[in-house]
């Protein structure tokens, strides 16, 4: 295995619309596309770690590398579980709708901003006649 500081290229093929989505998400997070993809892959991998007894020498070397894992890596919905527990930590009872509201706080504003940006970039258009949004191809 190579040293932790040596870099190499990884190439994959995805649909154009997915690349556009990744680019937009990377921009929202103020990340380069490479940094975004690397972080998302690492986040996904953390849900597939071998058991401690199955850890290999290369796994140990990787964990000591310079690049830390994303602190919010939450594959399999663990992040949602953590957020629910944090909300309920105050000891109050929350109804279903209250929990949904807490978990989706700010999503409407983020969605509106995303749609405005997509419309201004001619990626999405709204049709009053059809009552909704559609990709502008």
pLDDT digits (tens, 9 = 90+) for 24-74: 988 888 878 888 888 888 877 766 655 555 455 555 554 444 444 444 444
Cα(137)–Cα(133) distance, rounded to whole angstroms? 12
Cα(95)–Cα(81) distance, rounded to whole angstroms? 16
Q: Looking at the chain, which runs of residues are DSSP E strands? A: 124-127, 132-135
Predicted TM-score of the model (pTM): 0.36
The answer to whether residues 1 and 63 touch, using CB atoms and an 8 Å cutoff, is no
Percent of the chain whose pLDDT exceeds 70: 72
Check whether 105 has a pLDDT greater than 70: yes
Q: Name the one residue in this structure whose structure tokens are 């949004």.
A: 133
The answer to whether residues 36 and 22 touch, using CB atoms and an 8 Å cutoff, is yes
Cα(45)–Cα(73) distance, rounded to whole angstroms? 9
């Amino acid at each position: 295995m190579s040293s932790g500081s040596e870099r190499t290229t990884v190439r994959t093929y995805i649909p154009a619309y997915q690349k556009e989505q990744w680019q937009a998400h990377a921009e929202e997070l103020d990340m380069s596309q490479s940094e975004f993809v690397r972080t998302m892959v690492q986040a996904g991998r953390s849900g597939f770690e071998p058991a401690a007894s199955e850890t290999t020498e290369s796994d140990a070397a990787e964990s000591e590398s310079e690049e830390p894992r994303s602190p919010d890596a939450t594959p399999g919905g663990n992040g949602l579980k953590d957020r629910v527990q944090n909300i309920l930590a105050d000891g109050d009872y929350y109804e279903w709708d209250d929990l949904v509201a807490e978990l989706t706080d700010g999503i409407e504003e983020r969605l509106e901003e995303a749609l405005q940006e997509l419309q201004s970039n001619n990626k999405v258009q709204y049709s009053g006649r059809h009552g909704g949004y559609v990709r502008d191809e």
